[in-house]
Amino acid sequence: MEQKIIDLLKRSNLSITDSRKKILESFFQEDSALAHADIENHVGQDFDRVTIYRTLQTFVDKGIIHTIPTPDNAVLYALCKDSCSAGHHHDNHVHFICDNCNKTFCLEHVVVPAVHMPVGFAASQIDMVVSGICNYCNATT
Amino acid sequence: MEQKIIDLLKRSNLSITDSRKKILESFFQEDSALAHADIENHVGQDFDRVTIYRTLQTFVDKGIIHTIPTPDNAVLYALCKDSCSAGHHHDNHVHFICDNCNKTFCLEHVVVPAVHMPVGFAASQIDMVVSGICNYCNATT
DNA sequence: TACACTATTGCAACTATGTTGCAAAATGTT
DNA sequence: AACATTTTGCAACATAGTTGCAATAGTGTA
């Protein structure tokens, strides 16, 4: 784990700091997307709120994580897959929000379908967020 | 205009108040979706911030307007079409955000396409937000 | 390993956004 | 017009996010 995180930071040309390691750790430990508050809980009192904001922004810039738009307008972050690089995100997958456990997942293998735009409209990016019940909640209820 | 607004309020079982009339007017005058701040600008100093928040919430509850999720997590509101009713929204259309003029539109005639969910996931609602250049900006640049 | 340079962090202060309780004012009903 | 009910404005509070700056930690080099 520790080594995986250090490698990722090096690959992204970022210096290895305690806060970056701890915050990345949160993402590797959780399979779902995290809100700023989730991360604050995970890292505890160790780091300042501002540091977390700046670290997350840095990770987004470097293509390590991406933000997820949600219908209730909370900002969520999730790890990018390898196809993402600095300044160039490729997260064209569908995001899923479970109404039961409230977790948000990246459906890496579900690609956002094409839509036919009206005349005059040119699409450059498409975000698709699906809500419902996730596989874990469906299995246990 | 005035009469149309009053009728809409009556149909929704809402009392006719100055703030509700003025706020609804904003929506009828703009073809694009409005943020809270846009509305505050439009109605000026006439009403308290809190009143605007509460009025918008009331309109959402009554099915007069709906919220639009955006990738940058700003809350936007737009008029619902007639198929919406209290507690029962039918806004299954695609939303479009122009990267040039920054306005957000409901593409009423573009229905959100179906997606195939992985085993175990049950979808109940799908939001699709497309960004790019709108027809107005494409025509004038 | 120690040094110097650069990047990162913490603190404080600030802005924006949204919420709640309660008394005053406006609305609808008779 | 008078009453009961909603709605509004105010004040205070809560949360989220940003900025400048000084102190600290990380990195490459000798």
Which domains are assigned to chain B? 2-140 (1.10.10.10)
What was the pLDDT predicted at B88? 63
Average pLDDT over residues B51-78: 90
Per residue in A88-100, is it b (16+ CB within 10 Å) or e — as a string? ebebebbbbbbee
Name the band, by pLDDT with cuts 50, 70 and 90, for residue A133: very high
Is the pLDDT at B137 greater than 70? The verdict is: yes
Average pLDDT over residues A118-131: 93
What was the pLDDT predicted at B92? 84
Give CA separation, B45 vs B26, B27, B31, B51, B107, in Å.
14, 18, 23, 12, 32
Contact B121 A127 (CB under 8 A): no
Chain A CB within 8 Å of residue B123 CB: yes
Name the band, by pLDDT with cuts 50, 70 and 90, for residue A90: low
Query: Strand B93-98 vs strand B104-111: parallel, antiparallel, or unpaired?
Result: antiparallel
Rounded to whole angstroms, the distance from the CA of residue A63 to the C1' of nucleotide C5 is: 27
Average pLDDT over residues B65-81: 84
Average pLDDT over residues B108-119: 93
Q: Which nucleotides of D are covered by protein (CB under 7 A)?
A: 6-12, 16-20, 25-27
Apex A47 CA angle, A19 and A85, nearest 5: 35
Rounded to whole angstroms, the distance from the CA of residue A76 to the C1' of nucleotide D23 is: 31
Average pLDDT over residues B95-123: 92
What was the pLDDT predicted at A69? 78
Which structure tokens are listed for B135? Answer: 């027809």
Q: Which of A39, A36, A35, A85 is nearest to A61 (CA)?
A: A85
Average pLDDT over residues B15-29: 95
